[in-house]
Amino acid sequence: MNIHEYYYNENGKNLYIEFSTKEDGDSFYRILELEYQDVMYYSPDIVTEDEIHDVDEDFIIELIEQYLLNNDLPEELIL
């Protein structure tokens, strides 16, 4: 999995993630937007809203992997 970009929007209280899978290669990427409550649900660790700005790529990958256990991949978008 390749994480292109991620950031937490305090106003909307959601985590925006752009990523691609190995199968996507260099042709496609996907967008996942999770509300704070969803981040807490799928998170491998407990993270407060103050700490969410400091998460690293490993955390984001684990979060996506947990999300995908119960959900389909987001739609492919052309790079």
The predicted pLDDT at position 15 comes to 95
Mean pLDDT (whole number) for 9-36? 92
Domains of the chain: total:
1
Residue 79 pLDDT class (50, 70, 90 cuts): confident
Per DSSP (E only), the strands in 1-79 are: 2-9, 14-20, 28-35, 77-78
pLDDT at 6 over 90: yes
Q: pLDDT by residue (tens digit) across 31-62?
A: 999 999 999 999 988 888 889 988 999 999 99
The predicted pLDDT at position 50 comes to 87
Global pTM value? 0.89
